[in-house]
Structure 1
Amino acid sequence: MHPFATMLRALCAAALIGVAGAPLAATAAYPDKPIRLIVPYAAGGGTDTAARMIARKLAPLIGQTIVVENKPGGATQIGTAYVASAAPDGYTLLMGTANLATNSVLYKKLPYDAQKRLTPVVWATDVPVYLLLPAASPIRSLDALKLAATQQQGLTFATAGTGSIPHLAGEQFAHQTGIPLRHIPYKGSSEAATALVGGQVQLSFDNLAPVYAQVQAGRLRPVAIAAAARNPELPDVPTLTELGVPLIASSWWGVMAPAGTPSTAIGLLNSQINAVLADPEVRRYFAGLGMQAVGGTPDAFGRHIAAETEKWRAVVHQAGVKIEE
């Protein structure tokens, strides 16, 4: 054989050995470094609290630190856009909220396309909305609420912001019952609760966690829960459906990843977060905050987001809800 041919064969063989060996040297099992979980709200709120509990319990299961980072602003748009544009490698995740459904309906233009740029990992928690009255209010039934609305030519209701799930729940409640309600938005649940206790508004819709201290102190009274079943922590509070109003409304949170994230990473995260959500300690902790641990497959979470988007789209159009951009 010609010397050049012999050398060429040797070089090709060496190259093939190198290529064959490359995956073993370069590919590491996921995850091999800390994972960032982006919370699109400020620290201390319900979304942040849930994210940190999940991160703490998830870390030992996958053998890596989960770093929770807060990127608030723009009704979750800043944090969501950050993750939507991140590398799809499984190392940047989003604690997605119900705004994934409502923002696409309320805003004409968003800095991301959630359907195209994000993929579901797991539905983490469900946070039902409550109808709340001041504890001192003489109103004790839905009929009494209707009568008061008639006598006062309508009532006002407070929520923590226009376009929130509690706000849209209030609009749907007004439509279903025929009770004329006027929405008064506040900057947060604390301000809304203070206004309700102080008599600036007649009722409010909110999640339980941010107003639970007021409930425990005897200043606010949960009248009904917009859920399919009563909350075991508050067994005396009926569902709105029991009162004849078929309204189901809840805020919800779940983990999302950038579109294109490897299915192996999605599968691992899904199975291990489901294990976290099945942990009795986690379930008790969430229940004490008015949250319900959910879990399930990525597809199930994706279907939930799609259904919620269409549900609230109808309410936004019917009530004429507008966001000032």
Structure 2
Amino acid sequence: MKNTILLVALSAATGLPALVQANGYPNKPITLVVPYAAGGGTDTAARIIAKKLAGKLKQPVVVENKAGGATQIGTSYVVRAKPDGYTLLMGTANLATNPAFYKTLPYNVKTDLTPVVLATDVPVYIFTSPNASVKKVQDIRTQSKQGRALSYATAGVGSIPHMAAEIFNRKTGLHLQHVPYKGSAEAVVAAAGNQVPLSFDNLAPAYGQVKAGRLVPLAIAADKRSPALPDIPTLKELGIPVVAASWWGVLAPAGTPPAVIRKLNTQINDVVKDKSVQDFLLQQGIHTVGGTPEQFTRYIHEESEKWQAIVREADLHLEN
């Protein structure tokens, strides 16, 4: 009893609060914020990771969708949350691309968030409806050059699919019109219904529509074909050197105790190494990664520099 009282007394003057929190963490439900609408690829990955993580931590991990502002709404919510490990962000590549599109952001990725672990790597595909006039990538070139105004849907401005599409424009000399949605789920439905002739997105949110034959993948923006859809050619194979992949990882508010970060990192790494998780995600074109918080931190910085350079070179502009 005396030792417990002494520990609590000392915690106010030392670094022990983090230790105390980590030893009892978690003792209540955790919220994992997805900055996109429900049903998209980020949401799909977040929910299976949350389910498995809950089993390991012996506490519920609740996925909460906060879409809008090219992920700024959900990200800002987490940044403002108490840094105790109970509010986490399923961060996306927008953390690296948004600084290139927005002069000001309501947060600073480098100082307001603490990376926990990079969970996945997700290549971009080009999709179309079986009812659309586009049947192959060459049709996009042909119809565009014939003066037909083709548009494409994405999960939002500044997303990696948006970046991939704009690089596709630059490499082909075409001018496809961007139609941004609040999330992948909406964009996929629009493309499947032929409301928009093309969609640049990851396979995960489109998986159900592809399986049902309501959406057709035309190409993948990757160095090599995916085992998820081995018959789909890469854009490189088709003479269009576009390589682009989204990524999703878990982050916490800055100031979250290091011991809590380490515990989350260990448990989430175990989750993404789980074969049932890997098989489920790979089927949808999602590749699991894992690693340390330090590796994830470096990766975000490298991605930010890469995409900002591409935005400048491609002369991409923010759309309102």
How does the TM-score come out when normalised to structure 2?
A: 0.83
Q: Give distance in 1, aligned partners of 2:38 and 2:193.
A: 27
Structure ID, larger Rg: 1
User: 1:234 aligns to what?
Assistant: 229
The one-letter amino acid paired with 2:51 is R
Q: 1:45 aligns with which of 40, 45, 52?
A: 40
Correspondence 1:1-325 to 2 at 5 A:
19=6, 22=9, 27=20, 29-34=23-28, 35-135=30-130, 142-143=137-138, 145-152=140-147, 155-186=150-181, 188-189=183-184, 192-193=187-188, 196=191, 201-317=196-312, 318-324=314-320
Give 1:270 deviation, angstroms: 1.0
Change (3 A) 1:171 1:62: same
User: 1:10 aligns to what?
Assistant: none
What do the CA deviations read for 1:285-317 (whole angstroms, capped 9, x no partner)?
212333221111112222222222223323433
Alpha-carbon contact 2:67-2:183 (below 8 Å) kept? no
The one-letter amino acid paired with 2:201 is D
What do the CA deviations read for 1:216-268 (whole angstroms, capped 9, x no partner)?
23343212111233221211012223333332212221100122222222222
The one-letter amino acid paired with 1:33 is N
Change (3 A) 1:272 1:228: farther
Q: Give distance in 1, aligned partners of 2:204 and 2:72.
A: 23
Alpha-carbon contact 1:159-1:166 (below 8 Å) kept? yes
Identity %: 55
**Larger mean Cα displacement after TM superposition, 38-47 or 123-132:** 38-47
The one-letter amino acid paired with 1:83 is V
The one-letter amino acid paired with 1:283 is Q
Q: Give distance in 2, aligned partners of 1:60 and 1:168.
A: 36
Change (3 A) 1:102 1:21: closer
The one-letter amino acid paired with 2:75 is T
CA RMSD of aligned residues (A): 3.1
Unaligned runs of 5+ in 1: 1-14
Q: Give distance in 2, aligned partners of 1:195 and 1:220.
A: 10
Alpha-carbon contact 1:59-1:65 (below 8 Å) kept? yes
Q: Give distance in 2, aligned partners of 1:204 and 1:17.
A: 59
How many corresponding residue pairs? 310
**Larger mean Cα displacement after TM superposition, 251-260 or 174-183:** 174-183
